[in-house]
Amino acid sequence: MSSVNSSNASVFHTEEYRIQQRLGVAERMDEQMKGFIRPFMPAQHRAFFCNSPFMMAGLVDSQGHPWAIPLWGDHTTVDDHHYIQSPSPTQLSLALDDNVTWLINDVALLDGNTGSKIALLGLQLSTRRRNRLNGLIMHNRGGVIRVQVEQSYGNCPQYIHPRGTLHRDVAPTLEASLSTNSNTQYARSSALTSKDALLIARADTFYIASRHHDFTDDPRHGLDVSHRGGKPGFIDVDESSLLFPDFSGNKFFNTLGNIESDGRVGLCFVDDSNGDILFVNGKASILWSHPKLEGFAGAERFVQVSIQDVTRVFSIYPFKHPIIERSIHTEHTGVW
């Protein structure tokens, strides 16, 4: 295992630390983060997660590629949050809706085995609050996933647009035994359709999952899932790649560090008009300089994703998120 810095005591892995060094913030971040990234959930994080109508997860598929995937329970109302429980400060338990289990097991073929890495992101869109959790799957049976905490910490909310959360009626998925008919429920290809490209070009929000190249016992060597936001049009779309600005944030560089370590990423877009979920998986790289950078206030670099796999799942997401107002931090962040 490679050391992170001279003391190997940093909460950041090697590539995260190198980016912090590159930008001159490494020593400050190590000092600031003492006690901030914890191996347990503080009481307020436990309460926050248990009151979240949905979460985002980062999991890898059978080829080791990360996916960003939404999780929810069998809600009867938006305020029905019984599906998440926290038996202890180091455990979170999620009783997932059958549609989510189908997404994980049948569509994405994700690794939910005991001992596998998982990343979780809880969001309260109306208040822009979000918290992160990275850990291990300790139990996965009957639609219930229990997670053992390795890292728990809060996160910067500045590019989240305040939104409501309303319930949307969705049909149950086909049983796995009828998967020969699954083409009526999702479509997979190696490229974006015109409908996919339009959704991304108009998006003001998406989620990105990334991974460290080496999955080890080190809590820093795992998965991460994060929110990205901007003005509608902040993502440049062409036939084979996506390009988006990386704005100044909390200087953790979890996503960028993983991109430097491995490069494989999974992006998730939700179509609020019909409940479709669009997954875009590919290989990411960091563009430290770019001629358009000055046109995106707050952006410090760009991230480019070469598209390898696209999956659209039809009318499955059970919520609508009408925008309440635009984040003031995105006012001058630029569009293509």
CATH number of the domain at 116, please.
Answer: 2.30.110.10
Label the pairing between strands 166-167 and 319-320.
antiparallel
For residue 249, is pLDDT > 80? no
pLDDT of residue 329: 67
Please indicate, yes or no, if residue 174 is contained in any of the structural domains: no
User: Which structural domain, as residue segments, surrounds residue 289?
Assistant: 14-169+184-330
For residue 234, is pLDDT > 60? yes
For residue 129, is pLDDT > 70? yes
pLDDT of residue 103: 97
pLDDT of residue 218: 87
Please indicate, yes or no, if residue 134 is contained in any of the structural domains: yes
pLDDT of residue 175: 53
* pTM metric for this prediction: 0.90
pLDDT of residue 72: 95
Please indicate, yes or no, if residue 176 is contained in any of the structural domains: no
pLDDT of residue 295: 84
Please indicate, yes or no, if residue 5 is contained in any of the structural domains: no
Of 86-90, 173-177, 212-216, 321-325, the range with the highest mean pLDDT is 86-90
Please indicate, yes or no, if residue 4 is contained in any of the structural domains: no
For residue 4, is pLDDT > 70? no
Please indicate, yes or no, if residue 217 is contained in any of the structural domains: yes
Residues 6+ apart with CB under 8 A from 44: none
Query: Of 29-33, 267-271, 301-305, where does mean pLDDT reach its minimum?
Result: 29-33
- What is the domain count for the chain? 1
Please indicate, yes or no, if residue 2 is contained in any of the structural domains: no
Residue 2 — very low, low, confident or very high, per pLDDT cuts 50/70/90? Answer: very low
